[in-house]
């Protein structure tokens, strides 16, 4: 199998609260991704701080941790050719105001923090994030 076939997505607590889990999963499947693994978690503060440690010096970090621990989240391993880039195109820019029409964040996100969904941004991070949630090694 060629490289970059997997990415780690998280449907965030706002996605759950807004009852959008089904709609967002439909979009992901319609875009040709296979959901290889998925689970429901409620992140602890320690887990969220660990997952987002690259952002720990950012001013938005405390609010981000509060948000990500505020309710259920749904991490999933997605499979598709060129998964990382293709998934980031599907979800759109971090800030929904800057996201392209038709992207998941443009359609459903309230703001730059409560932005419905996470997608790994690099192959290194995808590997780390997949290991974080699923303890799986994946190429």
Annotated catalytic residues are 118
Residues 130 and 83 sit within 8 Å (Cβ to Cβ): no
Q: Which stretch binds ligand CMP (CB under 6 A): 33-41, 71-79, 96-104, 113-121?
A: 113-121
Instruction: Please give the structure tokens belonging to residue 110.
Output: 């309230």
Pattern of binders to ligand CMP over 31-70, x per CB under 6 A? ------------------------x----x---x------
Give least dist CB 88 to ligand CMP, A.
9
Give which of 118, 97, 119 is closest to 106, Cα–Cα: 97
6-11 and 34-38 strand pairing: unpaired
- Does 73 bind ligand CMP (CB under 6 A)? Our answer is no
Candidate list 18, 23, 106, 113; residue touching ligand CMP; CB under 6 A: 113
Out of 112, 125, 132, 134, the residue judged to bind ligand CMP by CB under 6 A: 112
Site residues, ligand CMP (CB under 6 A): 55, 60, 64, 94, 112-113, 115, 118
């Amino acid at each position: 199998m060629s490289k970059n076939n997997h990415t780690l997505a998280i449907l965030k607590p706002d996605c759950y609260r807004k009852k959008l889990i089904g709609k967002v999963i439909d979009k992901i499947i319609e875009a040709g991704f296979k959901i290889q693994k998925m689970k429901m978690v409620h992140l602890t503060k320690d887990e969220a701080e660990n997952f987002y440690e690259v952002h720990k010096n950012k001013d938005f970090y405390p609010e981000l941790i509060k948000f990500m621990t505020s309710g259920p989240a749904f991490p999933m391993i997605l499979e598709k050719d060129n998964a990382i880039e293709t998934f980031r195109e599907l979800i759109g820019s971090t800030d929904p105001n800057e996201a392209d029409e038709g992207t998941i964040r443009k359609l459903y996100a309230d703001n730059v923090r409560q932005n419905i969904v996470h997608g790994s941004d690099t192959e290194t991070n995808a590997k780390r994030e997949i290991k974080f949630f699923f303890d799986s090694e994946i190429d």
